[in-house]
Structure 1
Amino acid sequence: MLLIRFLIISICVLYIIRSLMRYLIPALFQSVINKAQQQAQQQQNNYQRQQNRPDGAVKVDYIPEGSKKGKLPDTEGEFVDYEEVK
């Protein structure tokens, strides 16, 4: 009698879990897909903003402190002259 009761309860629990998963898994995947779409759209918007810059525009993110215009610090290496060959 105890074994039959255990089997009936187990089957009912598995059936309930299966029924719940039928609704929960698609909802979970939908939220993941929506999040990925939002990230892709943000990347596309950022790319378009970068492409809309006028020609020759330069964006400088970092300027070292104490640097003087036109002069390179000694730690930057040395300049090598070159000839352009056509």
Structure 2
Amino acid sequence: MVVLSWGSAAIAGSCLPPAPPWMPTNADDVRDYADLLRRDAETYFADVERYFRCLDQQRREVFDQARVASEDYARVLELLEGESR
């Protein structure tokens, strides 16, 4: 039986959180850049939703990998137990 290790590098770092948009505090800047600020905020919130979906997907994938690893490890322990009798 061959046991393969996935390692954390295979799953780490594929979901990157978005950077929050810069929002000016000066009222004149807010008025001058209102359209840009709206677009930046809407883009940010859309990116946040994608980020959370990515994390959910990664969680499901890692959960499935952990389930398979647990089943494989249980088989290994059974084999070792059988050999020690």
TM, length-normalised to structure 2: 0.54
**Partner of 1:14 in structure 2?**
44
**Partner of 1:5 in structure 2?**
35
C-alpha displacement of 1:22: 3.4
Aligned residues: 55
TM, length-normalised to structure 1: 0.53
C-alpha displacement of 1:41: 1.4
Where structure 2 has 5 or more consecutive residues not aligned to the other structure, the ranges are 1-30
Where structure 1 has 5 or more consecutive residues not aligned to the other structure, the ranges are 56-86
Higher relative contact order (CA 8 A, sep 6+): 2
Q: Hey, which bits of structure 1, 4+ residues long, moved more than 6 A? A: none
State the superposition RMSD in angstroms.
1.9
Report the structure, 1 or 2, having the larger helix content. 2
Q: Which aligned pairs between 1:40-55 and structure 2 lie closer than 5 A?
A: 40-53=70-83, 55=85
The structure having more radius of gyration, on CA atoms, is 1
Percent identity between matched residues is 5
Listed one character per residue, the Cα deviations across residues 33-64 of structure 1 (whole Å, up to 9, x for unaligned) are 11112112111100101112363xxxxxxxxx
**Partner of 1:63 in structure 2?**
none
Partner AA of 1:33 in structure 2? F
